[in-house]
């Protein structure tokens, strides 16, 4: 049997858990237009003590692939990540393939992290092509033979849920994720395409409305319990 103080404490804890879950749902909706964004779920469980507990999960399900006709855009079809390197040498990983040509001609992310080990694209080339296995080829003219410029690597992790979120839609490896493993002989890259967020706007909106209603009900219950507590104090004082 719970005391009034225990009921209030449990109600506050459960409301806070719902509020935290609402924050993750709101963040998913805010990133609806973020390339290759992966939905974060806050899975809540009711413990034997009556308290709500939660675990954070990332849904790495493939997002839809959209045609952009931009030769610098690369979508990953299937599992895996592209390693990118900061100007200071930090290595992180991304599925956002909205790349560009940096000031030195290298293929870089939107915030100037170098893709792979560095692929320099000639500024005066007729066109360049990114093959399914990540090989980047350049053509000087319509009739010229292709020149090999480098390869965009694809890596996978034993436990991708162990990756840690970083800035600008990147991920950092951790002990939980394990070390990256290079994928060879694949056909996962699609040039002129981009992967979009895998957030389901309809399910997320429905969940947000439900959580909001649940928190309102919890706050009303706390108000009832608080009134009971005040009446109990007044009875003792009387």
Say if residue 123 is in the same domain as residue 167: yes
What is residue 1's predicted lDDT score, i.e. its pLDDT? Answer: 45
User: For the chain, which ranges sit under pLDDT 70?
Assistant: 1-8, 10-12, 44-54, 221-222, 224-226, 228-229, 231-238
Same domain, yes or no, for 93 and 187?
A: yes
Q: Which two tokens stand for residue 16?
A: 């806070």
Residue 33 near residue 63, CB atoms below 8 Å? no
Question: What pLDDT sits at residue 5?
Answer: 63
Q: What are the b/e assignments for 138-173, b being 16+ CB within 10 Å?
A: bbeeeeeeeeebbebbbebbeebeebeeeeebbbeb
Q: Which residues of 79-99 are buried (b: 16+ CB within 10 A; e: fewer)?
A: ebbbbbbeeeeeebbbbbbbb
The answer on 180 and 81 residing in a single domain is: yes
The answer to whether 212 and 18 are in contact (CB under 8 A) is no
Q: Are residues 55 and 71 in the same domain?
A: no
Q: Quick one: 148 and 232 in the same domain?
A: no
pLDDT tens digits for range 200-222: 988 888 887 887 777 777 777 66
* Phi, psi at 213, each rounded to 5°: -65, -40
Task: Calculate the alpha carbon distances from 7 to 16, 224, 228 in Å.
Answer: 14, 11, 11
Instruction: For residue 39, give the nearest of 193, 189, 165 by alpha carbon.
Output: 165
165 contact partners, CB below 8 Å, separation of at least 6: 171, 172
Do 161 and 208 sit in the same domain of this protein?
A: no
Residue 148: left (phi > 0), alpha (psi -120 to 50), or beta? beta
Q: Residue 180's pLDDT is what?
A: 96
Rg of the chain, C-alpha, whole Å: 25
Burial class (CB in 10 A: 0-12, 13-18, 19+), 216: exposed
pLDDT at residue number 20: 80
Q: Are residues 113 and 190 in the same domain?
A: yes
Count of the separate structural domains present in the chain: 2
Q: Which domain holds residue 159?
A: 65-195
């Amino acid at each position: 049997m719970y005391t009034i103080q225990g009921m209030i404490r449990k109600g506050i804890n459960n409301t806070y858990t719902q509020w935290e879950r609402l924050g993750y749902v709101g963040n998913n909706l805010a990133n609806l237009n973020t390339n290759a964004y992966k939905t974060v779920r806050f899975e809540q469980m009711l413990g034997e003590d009556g308290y709500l507990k939660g675990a954070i999960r990332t849904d790495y399900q493939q997002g839809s692939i959209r045609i952009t006709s931009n030769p610098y855009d690369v979508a990953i079809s299937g599992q895996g990540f592209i390693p990118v390197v900061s100007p200071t040498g930090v290595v992180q990983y991304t599925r956002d393939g909205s790349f560009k040509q940096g000031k030195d001609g290298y293929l870089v992310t939107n915030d100037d992290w170098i893709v792979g080990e560095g692929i320099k694209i000639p500024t005066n080339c007729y066109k360049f092509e990114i093959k399914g296995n990540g090989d980047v080829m350049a053509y000087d003219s319509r009739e010229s033979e292709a020149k090999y410029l480098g390869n965009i690597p694809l890596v996978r992790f034993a436990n991708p849920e162990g990756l840690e979120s970083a800035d600008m839609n990147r991920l950092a490896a951790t002990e939980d994720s394990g070390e990256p493993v290079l994928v060879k002989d694949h056909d996962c890259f699609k040039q002129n395409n981009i992967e979009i967020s895998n957030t389901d706007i309809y399910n997320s909106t429905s969940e947000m409305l439900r959580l909001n209603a649940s928190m309102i009900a919890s706050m009303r219950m706390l108000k009832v319990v608080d009134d009971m507590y005040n009446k109990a104090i007044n009875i003792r004082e009387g």
